[in-house]
Chain A
Amino acid sequence: MKYAAVLGADEAQSTGRGKPGFVAAILNDKKALFGVVVLGIFFAAALFAPLVAPYDPNAMDFDMMLAPSGQFVLGTDDLGRDLFTRILYGTRTSLLVGVSTVALSLVVGVALGVAAGYFGGWIDTIIMRYIDLQWAFPNFIVAVYLVAVFGAGLLNVIIAIALAFVDDFARITRGMVLTIKEEQYVAAARVSGASDFRIMWRHILPNAMAPIIVQATVSVSYAILGEASLSFLGLGVEADTPTWGLILADARSFISRAWWLGVFPGVAIMLTVLSINFLGDALRDYLDVRETQGLW
C-alpha cells in the first residue's frame, strides 16, 4: 500500500552496480567501516571461539562474581563461569540466530511475494490477505507464544522469530515484482518461451534484490534483539548454550553487586546491532532504497 507508493518504480534501476563501487562506498563512510570491522571481529570470534576462549563457557569452577582482572578479563558470573568466554560463545548463537532467522524468513517471504506479484489473481489475493493478517498480529507476542508452547530450543526460537519477518519480505518482494514484470525484458523473455519459473528466477528476482537485501540487514539486527528479548523472558535457546540475552537475564539479580555482568553482554549486543545498522545504512544509501518495512 503506502510503502509500495514510496518505494515505487525508482528501485527498478538500482541494479547492476558492481562490487568495486560498494567497497569504495564503505571505505569512504566511517560508520560503515566501523561496522564492517566490528562485525568482522565478531564473526571471527564466533568461528574461532573454541580456540580463542580462555576457559570452558559452562565450567563453574571459579569463585562467584569476581571483578574483571588479569585472570578473568571480564570477571566471573554468579555461578563462577568466566564472562569473557561466555560472551565469546554467545557470539555464535546470536549471529547464528540472527542470520538463519533472516535467511529462513527471506526464502519463505520472497517466495510468497514473487508468487503473489507474478501470478496475481487468487494467489495474490490469498497471499495479500495473509500479509495483512500478519500485519495485524503483534509479532513478538506470537514468538513468545510459539516458544512458550513448543518449548525453548534453538530451532523453535529460529522459527518463531523468522515468522515475524515473513510479511515484510513478502510485501517488499511483491511490490518490486509488480513493477518489474511490466518491464521490456520480461515481456521479451515470455515471448521467447521461457517458463514462469525461469522468468521469476532469472529475470525478476535479481532485479528485485536491492530492497530485499536492505530489509535483510535491518531484520538481522531485529532478530538479534528479538532473540535477546526472548532469552531475557526465559524463553530463549536452551540454557547450556550461552546467548547474550540469557547472560543478561541470569545477571539481573546480581548486577548491583557485579556491574560487569550487566554491562558487557549489553555492550556486545549493542555493538553487533550497531554495526549491522551502520552497514545496512550504507547499503541503503548505495542501493538507493528509500524505505524499509516494519519496526518489529
Chain B
Amino acid sequence: MSAFLIRRLIGAAVIMWAVATLVFFMLRIVPGDPIGAMLFDVGGAEEVEALRRKLGLDQPLYVQYLKWFWNLLQGDLGSSIYGSRVPVAQLIAEALPRTLSLAGLSFVLALVIAVPAGLIAATRRNSGLDYGVTFVAFLGLSMPDFWLAILLIIVFAANLHWLPAIGYVPLAEGFWPWLSHLILPAIAVGTAFSAIIARMIRSSMLEVLKADYMQVARSKGLREHALILTHAFPNALIPVITVMGIAFALLMAGAVVVENVFSIKGLGRLLIQGILNRDYPVVQGSILVVSAIFVFANLLVDALYTVIDPRIRHQS
C-alpha cells in the first residue's frame, strides 16, 4: 500500500507543477495590461515602463518563469502588483482560514442534515417521509447557491435581523460572532452538497440493504436497528467517502459566488479579484493553493479508501 501511496504522492507533485506552469503561461499571454490600467490616471509611458521593470515584467517569459519557480521552491509566492505590494503568501494566509471556515461549516451542516435524512429515506423507503426527503433534496440541488444566499440575507438579515448580513469574524474574537457570520453563507453553500450526500446515502443504503451479507446477518437474528447501524451503514458509506474528498475541495471553490454575496474575503474571492485585475502573482499563488487542496484531499480519500475497501488495496 505504501508503494501505491508514494506513487500517488509523486503523481500529485507532478500535477501541481503542471498546474502551476500552465497557469503561469496562461496569464501572461492574454489581452489586458494591468500596469497600464493601474497607472491610467496618473502615469505616462515612462512611468509604466519603470514600474514594469521594477516588477520584472519586462523580461522574456521564460526568464520570468524560472525566477518565479525558483522563488516558489523557496516558499516565496511573490507579491501583489498593486498597492502596498503585499506578499501573496500573506494574502492567502489571511484568506484561507475564512474559506476553510466556510467550507468546513458547510461540510458539517450538510452532513448533519444529509446523513439522518438519507438514512431515514432509505429505511422508510417509498413512505411519505422518503418522498419528502427526496423531493427536498432535489430542490436543494436545483437551486443556484447565490440565489439561496440572497434570499437568506433578505429574510434573516434584512427583515428579521437575526443574523448579520455580511462579513467575517475570526474565531479568535469569539465563537458566536464567528458562527453567526458564517451560518447563512454555510447554508447557501452546503445545501446542494447536502442534497447530493443525502441522495447518495439513500441509494447506497438501499443497495447495501439488499445485499447478501445483510440477509445472512438478519438470519442470525440481529435486530434491524443494530443491523443498520453496524453493518449496513458503514458499507453504505464507502462510495460516499469517495465523494467527500473532492467535495470539500469543491465546496471551497464553489463558495466563490457565495463569498461574493456575503463579502467574505476568502480564497475564492481573492482569486476572482486577482483574475479581474490581472494580478498575476495573486492568481498563480491562489490557484496553486486551491489545486494543492484538491490534490491533497484526493490523496487523503485514496488513502482512506484503501483502508476501508480491501478490494481496492490490491488493485492498480
A and B: direct contact (Cβ < 8 Å)? yes
CB neighbours (8 Å) of B311 from chain A are 5
Q: For residue B177, which residues in chain A have a CB less than 8 angstroms away from its CB?
A: none
A274 within 8 A of B: yes
Report if B235 contacts A (CB, 8 A).
no
Interface bin, chain B: 35 or more
B18 within 8 A of A: yes
Query: Chain B residues with Cβ under 8 A from A296's Cβ?
Result: 250, 254
Q: In the complex, which residues 172-198 of chain A have their Cβ closer than 8 Å to any Cβ of chain B?
A: none
Residues in A with CB closer than 8 Å to B100 are none
Name 11 extra pairs, CB < 8 A, besides A145-B26, A296-B250: A2-B302, A133-B22, A136-B16, A138-B249, A141-B275, A148-B276, A149-B275, A232-B144, A270-B142, A274-B138, A295-B250
Pick the residue among A145, A228, A270 that contacts B139 (CB under 8 A): A270
Please judge, given known A-B contacts A2-B242, A136-B294, A137-B19, whether A245 and B316 are in contact too, CB under 8 Å: no
Q: Is the CB of B253 within 8 A of A138?
A: yes
Q: Check if B19 sits within 8 Å of A133, measured CB to CB.
A: yes
* CA–CA, A211 and B246, complex, Å: 21
Given contacts A233-B257, A291-B239, contact A266 B275 (CB under 8 A): no
Check A119 for interface membership: any CB of B closer than 8 A: no
* In the complex, chain B residues whose CB is within 8 Å of the CB of A138: 249-250, 253, 287, 290-291, 294
Number of interface residues of A (CB under 8 A): 46
Q: Is the CB of B146 within 8 A of A136?
A: no
Q: What distance in Å separates the Cβ of B297 from its nearest Cβ neighbour in chain A? A: 10
Give A262-287 interface residues, CB cut-off 8 Å to B.
262-263, 266, 269-271, 273-274, 277-278
Binding site for B on A (CB under 8 A): 1-3, 5-6, 31, 129, 132-133, 135-141, 144-145, 148-150, 221, 225, 228-229, 232-233, 245, 248, 252, 255-256, 259, 262-263, 266, 269-271, 273-274, 277-278, 291, 295-296
Q: Main SS of the interface on chain B?
A: helix
CB of A248, distance to nearest CB on chain B (Å): 6
CA distance A127 to B250 in the complex (A): 23
A132 close to B154 (CB less than 8 A): no
- 3 A-B pairs with the lowest CB-CB distances in the bound complex, closest first: A138-B253, A266-B147, A273-B142
Q: Which residues of A contact B247 (CB under 8 A)?
A: 295
Cα separation A140 to B315 with both chains bound (whole Å): 32
Q: How far is the CA of A296 from the CA of B26 in the complex (A)?
A: 21
B253 touches which of A141, A148, A248, A255 (Cβ 8 Å): A141
Q: Chain A's nearest CB lies how many Å from the CB of B85? A: 22
A sample of 26 cross-chain residue pairs with beta-carbon separation below 8 angstroms, ordered by A number, consists of A1-B302, A5-B312, A31-B135, A132-B11, A133-B22, A135-B294, A136-B16, A136-B294, A138-B287, A141-B272, A141-B287, A149-B275, A229-B145, A232-B146, A252-B150, A256-B158, A266-B151, A269-B143, A270-B139, A270-B142, A270-B143, A291-B239, A295-B243, A295-B246, A295-B250, A296-B254
